[in-house]
Structure 1
Amino acid sequence: MKRKLTMIQAITEAMDQKLADDSRIMLLGEDIGVNGGVFRATEELVHKYGPDRIVDTPLAEAGIIGAAIGLAMNGKIPVVEIQFLAFIYPGFEQIVSHAARMRYRTRGQYHVPMVIRTPYGAGIRGPELHSESVETFFAHVPGLKVVAPSTPYDAKGLLIAAMEDPDPVIFLEPTKLYRAFKQEVPEEMYRVPIGKAKVVQEGSDVSIFAWGAMLRVAEDAAKQIERENGLSCEVIDLRTLYPLDRDTIIASVKKTGRAVVVHEAHKTAGLGAEIISIINDEALIYMKAPVKRITGFDVPVPQFSIEDDYLPTAERVKDGIMETATF
């Protein structure tokens, strides 16, 4: 049966169903028990599963993630909630030095099946440390998988897949989309495969790559540009940021010959640069124009009064599409 859920409801349901399905699953985080988490993603779960499985932790990200690594190596599957992505920095060393490389370091004797959930991105009128988009930090680290859903359907399916993955997964939740819209989501458990992008809209003139909250911006721009200029845009939701779905990226640009990448992270060394490199390595001779990046700027996320000027908009994306189309 399908019902319409918001993204936050879909995420809660995924955790609820896996907690019931697998006794190894446990949740750790700040205020995730009685309070239900800062965005209420874990609301009521402590009453169903108890404080031994829904663990309220001290305000200590290094300790939360370090404890989760130890639990994962000893038979549990911990799902960590970090309140905001930029709060993860105190636990960064635990992630990159231990979680990501434990299987390599032990030659496969130990795995670290854990998920780190964290909201990210601007557009919610929060301070800069509540609004950063620094996915590149984690996509650079071998041993981690990095996921960023754009819809309630994908959020549930990807989170279930992440909780069943034998390796650590960074699960990035676009804060702006938590309650932005509802979508039909199956009641039963299902999986969306990690590492597979989704062609949201078929097109023939230009490929647009996006993820998270920027997917809706890309879709809006594609609809407007088709209506106003008659250009056919192929819109692709990457969904997994590491490992990237190279096959879908290359197949699309071979078809269209043009590409635009949209992300709200800083431009320098953002994932857009890696996508351009993949295209240059494997499909350069098919390209009719340079790849265009529409991104955030190389500054901290500004205060809310000018936050909208920082984020990519449909107008900026349309300008990028026209620049590639008229090259």
Structure 2
Amino acid sequence: MDRADIVNQAFRENLAKDALPAGNPAGGPLDASEAVAIFRAQCLSRNLDRTSRKMQAAGQGYYTIGSSGHEGMAAVASALRPDDMAFLHYRDGAFQTMRSSQVPGTTATWDMLLSFATSTEDPISGGRHKVLGSRALSIPPQTSTIASHLPKAVGAAYSIGLARRHAPEHQVLADDSIVMCSFGDASSNHSTAQGAINTACWTSFQSVPMPLLFVCEDNGIGISTRTPKGWVGENYRNRPGLKYFHANGLDLFDTYRAAREAAEYVRTRKKPAFLHLTLVRLYGHAGSDMQQVYLSKKIFEAWEADDPLQHSARLLIEAGILNAQQALEIYDEADRQCTRVAAEVVTRPRLKTAKDVMASLIPPVRECAPTNGPSEEARLATFGSDAKQFASPQPMSRLLNWALTDLMLEHEEIAMMGEDVGRKGGVYGVTQKLVDRFGQDRMIDTLLDEQSILGLAIGMAHNGFVPMPEIQFLAYLHNAEDQIRGEAATLSFFSNGQFTNPMVLRIAGLGYQKGFGGHFHNDNSLGVLRDIPGVIVACPSNGADGAMMMREAVRLAREEQRVVVFVEPIALYPMRDLHDEKDGGWMRTYPSPDKRIPLGEVGVSGDGPLAILTYGNGNYLSHQAAKPLAEAGIDTRIIDIRWLAPLPVEGIVEALDGAEKILIVDECRTSGNVSEALMALVAENTNLPHARIAAEDSFIATGPAYAATMPSRDSIFEAATNLWNAS
């Protein structure tokens, strides 16, 4: 027999013969009617699990990772308010069924079974995944996350206090809300969990509001690897800034008591708490997992003997709240309801085409209040002496700083966060003076943890802010790229556009820094960003473009709810000259605040027959090479593509009109980067002869050879000459 059938039969038989497992008597603040409501939610969650397994066996359901053994989470839901945002562990079906009973108009059975059937009528993902989540229930969707949701839970909790001081236009969470985040004992060991919990403690230790409840669902095993007995408690009991609570998760009364105490502590103290629940896992890990392969039978039979539904029934019967027949009727009604609804949901429509699947990749446009920008008086007061330099050419770092100042003046929901962005003003001074202009609330100096920086941004966006996180160097993104790939970029997709986390992620990146840091501070690869569906990647090459593209990036985040990555070429931050020392050829004046460069608009310099397709430092170097090329009789048009994902195909093709040959200049590595896409674009849209020059497939060295592996003015000149002279 399937273990689910064995557990089901044992529940019925033990209930009938009064052979339920022993335990402590019912106690604590939980009243009788709410205890029955929790039991109903537990029974429904259990039968939803059983139904999902039957649906899979019949080829009508998919991805059966269940919640059986974790039904105690229904008591946690009962102890919280339904508007407390909850980032759920994938075994939290009981939490969602309980919360659904608290919110009129939601139907847990239909909602979850439609998800199991991957129907387009699934109200959370539209058939894209078996996923817990609900807009009405304040549960952003989570799939089988391994702690990746913890950093954004920290960010969402932090945003509650910030919103009291700077209320965003699209605020979601109430001032007295708390955030709940649940995860398994195995996930608590993941570096992402450790980083997020450390960040919450670090914040709380400084008396910064952090109304966050961590719930660790400790069933003692992570797939096949046992958790050492006592490990979770010893690991989290004495963390500074974190209050520890424990409960027997098999006991709905004890769980409710501890959850209520923990929630009250978090809500009143505005400090994080850690609720440790001891539970069991039933049926194995997921799907076809055969736990008997790696566990002795006596272990999982002992778990089954501790079935939380049997414990719940025993507690309710002993307390005189229900009798055995009434408990069985509740269970049977949940079973009948699941069977009835399952027969219907399997007939409902499913996704069929690529267009259907991709429909929610791009978030919906949201209505925003019109802004006319700050008054000239407010601008002058904020900029101070900087305003006198607006008409004077400036390097990129200065113009980006001014653009950020104007944007933060115009939109109070913008907040920046990252290591050293505040008091220091960033490693390269791009954010200097902003903390003086806008305060530490909006220029947040974080601890050194890229996952937490991005999680802070994602969570704040859940509460209506437009965050602008900074990662100091492109190479450092790799410590945290899953926060973009697995969280930020997928939220709209898995919620059918109902949840979004718009942001503008600023990253200092690319190569050509002289003698500094090697590949840790010079990283010339953008492949990790360009292959994430739905993410926009922007890369300006001069200050004026940078200012105008930054304004468009903020508009895309604020109005279109997009995730935008803004890659700022480090070597071009201070660049002043183009051909000769002190010629000032690469500086620009500050464009007026109403000017921006729309997504997809490319930059074109010249109209010669040799087109050079490039971006970033490549644009600068190509302009250097254009002078000797012209002296050699080769006139160029240099096309700065600006937007690296999605590629501005229409703009590029239009800019190539009249060209005779095309040279692609890519400062990133030959493999897996922009030039490969550009070569395909040219081949698919033109019949023109073309070639490319790109960086070697190598890391970057420190010292005199800092640029040896990348295109240069001379190598661009040589490649262009060879292409032009080729027959």
Q: TM range, normalised to the smaller chain?
A: over 0.9
Gaps of 5+ in 2: 1-389, 577-586
How far 1:2 moved relative to its partner?
3.5
Give the secondary structure class of the aligned counterpart of 2:484: helix
Give the alignment's TM-score, normalised by structure 1.
Answer: 0.94
* Corresponding position: 1:325 with 2:724: yes
Indicate which of 136, 146, 149 corresponds to 2:527.
Answer: 136
CA distance in 1, matches of 2:545, 2:679: 25
**AA aligned opposite 2:677:** E
Where does residue 164 of structure 1 map in the other structure? Answer: 555
Contact 2:476–2:520, Cα closer than 8 Å, also in 1: yes
CA distance in 1, matches of 2:537, 2:611: 22
Indicate which of 418, 427, 449 corresponds to 1:38.
Answer: 427
CA distance in 1, matches of 2:659, 2:665: 17
CA distance in 1, matches of 2:667, 2:679: 16
CA distance in 2, matches of 1:191, 1:256: 27
Where does residue 611 of structure 2 map in the other structure? Answer: 207
Ranked by relative contact order (alpha carbons within 8 Å, sequence separation 6 or more), the top structure is 1
Indicate which of 493, 498, 511 corresponds to 1:109.
Answer: 498
Cα offsets for 1:82-103 (capped at 9, x unmatched): 1111111111000011111211
Contact 2:547–2:591, Cα closer than 8 Å, also in 1: no
**AA aligned opposite 2:722:** E
Contact 1:72–1:112, Cα closer than 8 Å, also in 2: yes
Gaps of 5+ in 1: none
Give the secondary structure class of the aligned counterpart of 1:264: strand
Give the secondary structure class of the aligned counterpart of 2:704: helix
CA distance in 2, matches of 1:190, 1:112: 26
Indicate which of 631, 638, 643 corresponds to 1:240.
Answer: 643
Where does residue 155 of structure 1 map in the other structure? Answer: 546
- The structure that is strand-richer by fraction is 1
* Corresponding position: 1:178 with 2:573: yes
CA distance in 1, matches of 2:705, 2:395: 27
CA distance in 1, matches of 2:697, 2:422: 37
Give the secondary structure class of the aligned counterpart of 1:263: strand
Query: Mapping of 1:78-97 within 5 angstroms?
Result: 78-97=467-486
**AA aligned opposite 1:84:** F
How far 1:189 moved relative to its partner?
4.1
Give the secondary structure class of the aligned counterpart of 1:122: coil
CA distance in 1, matches of 2:659, 2:437: 51
**AA aligned opposite 1:70:** G
Cα offsets for 1:93-147 (capped at 9, x unmatched): 0001111121111111122220111111222222211001222221111110000
**AA aligned opposite 1:188:** P
CA distance in 1, matches of 2:406, 2:651: 31
**AA aligned opposite 2:673:** G
Q: Matched residue pairs, number?
A: 321
How far 1:252 moved relative to its partner?
4.0
Taking only the aligned residue pairs, the percentage that are identical comes to 26
CA distance in 1, matches of 2:654, 2:596: 24
Question: Higher mean Cα deviation, 303-312 or 157-166?
Answer: 303-312
CA distance in 2, matches of 1:248, 1:113: 25
CA distance in 2, matches of 1:142, 1:85: 19
**AA aligned opposite 2:705:** I
Contact 1:99–1:112, Cα closer than 8 Å, also in 2: yes
Q: 1:110 to 1:3 in 2, by over 3 A?
A: farther
Contact 2:422–2:435, Cα closer than 8 Å, also in 1: yes
Question: Higher mean Cα deviation, 303-312 or 145-154?
Answer: 303-312
Indicate which of 289, 292, 313 corresponds to 2:712.
Answer: 313
Indicate which of 509, 513, 518 corresponds to 1:120.
Answer: 509
Structure of larger gyration radius: 2
Where does residue 226 of structure 1 map in the other structure? Answer: 630
How well do the aligned residues superpose, as a CA RMSD in angstroms?
Answer: 1.5
Contact 1:2–1:186, Cα closer than 8 Å, also in 2: no
Cα offsets for 1:172-194 (capped at 9, x unmatched): 11111111122112243421112
Question: Higher mean Cα deviation, 273-282 or 119-128?
Answer: 119-128
How far 1:155 moved relative to its partner?
0.5
Where does residue 191 of structure 1 map in the other structure? Answer: 596
CA distance in 2, matches of 1:250, 1:192: 18
Query: Mapping of 1:247-326 within 5 angstroms?
Result: 247-283=650-686, 286-287=687-688, 289=689, 291-326=690-725
How far 1:254 moved relative to its partner?
4.8
Give the secondary structure class of the aligned counterpart of 1:256: coil
> Segments of 4+ in structure 1 off by > 3 A?
251-254
Cα offsets for 1:149-187 (capped at 9, x unmatched): 011101111111111212011101111111112211224
**AA aligned opposite 1:178:** Y
How far 1:244 moved relative to its partner?
1.3
CA distance in 2, matches of 1:265, 1:45: 32
Cα offsets for 1:3-47 (capped at 9, x unmatched): 322111111111111111111100001011111111111112112
